[in-house]
Amino acid sequence: MADIWKELVPIGLGAVGTVLGVMNTWNTMSQRQMRMRVTPAFLLEQDGTPFGFSIEAVNLSAFPLTLCEIGFRTAKKRRTVITGYRTSDGRSLPCRLEPREAISFMFGAGDVRPPSGHRIGAAYIRTACGRTILGDSPARKQFSNMMA
């Protein structure tokens, strides 16, 4: 019986070490991934009447990101850049977004001018490294119908 334990203990410890090594590798790769949540939403009066629109960005990465452009995609993959916006904290683009930090870009319907004959698609935010992150919501769909 003692001989069996001498064989099983090293095998069991080796299996535990292998599982922990795989988990550590997965965790390291996950932390290096860029993640951001982009959410378009209506800005509402206290009585519930919409008076504007916003695109919120939340940095879900473990490192800071630099945002350099916001806007909407159109149906034919064109971009409608929004330049007439206000932010929740008075910053302008490009701006650095720390991990777990959020920023809202607020604007009115007159600040969005899609090309003639194009409908507004998903909201997007482009980072300084060239990545484009898309976000959609039911509010964006209503906003697109209002603009049509």
Is 59 a residue whose pLDDT tops 90?
A: yes
CA nearest 146: which of 116, 123, 112?
A: 112
Task: List the one residue out of 60, 72, 66 whose CA is nearest residue 107.
Answer: 72
Q: Is 4 in the same domain as 41?
A: no
Same domain flag for 24 and 4: yes
Asked whether residue 14 falls in the same domain as residue 73, the answer is no
Taking only the tens place, the pLDDT of each residue in 15-34 is: 888 888 888 888 777 667 88
Q: Are residues 75 and 137 in the same domain?
A: yes
Query: Any idea what the CATH number is for the domain that residue 63 is in?
Result: 2.60.40
Q: Could you give the 3-state DSSP secondary structure of residue 18? A: helix
pLDDT digits (tens, 9 = 90+) for 37-58: 999 988 877 777 777 888 999 9
- Could you give the 3-state DSSP secondary structure of residue 28? helix
123 and 78 within one domain: yes
Examine the domain organization and report whether 1 and 45 are in the same domain: no
Question: Quick one: 42 and 25 in the same domain?
Answer: no
Burial class (CB in 10 A: 0-12, 13-18, 19+), 57: buried
Tell me the per-residue pLDDT of 63-89, one tens digit each, with 9 for 90 and over.
899 999 998 888 767 788 888 888 878
**pLDDT at residue number 65:** 92
Pair 27, 49 in one domain = no
Domain holding 16, by residue range, is 1-32
Number of structural domains (the chain) is 2
- Convert the pLDDT of each residue in 85-105 to its tens digit: 888 788 888 999 999 999 999
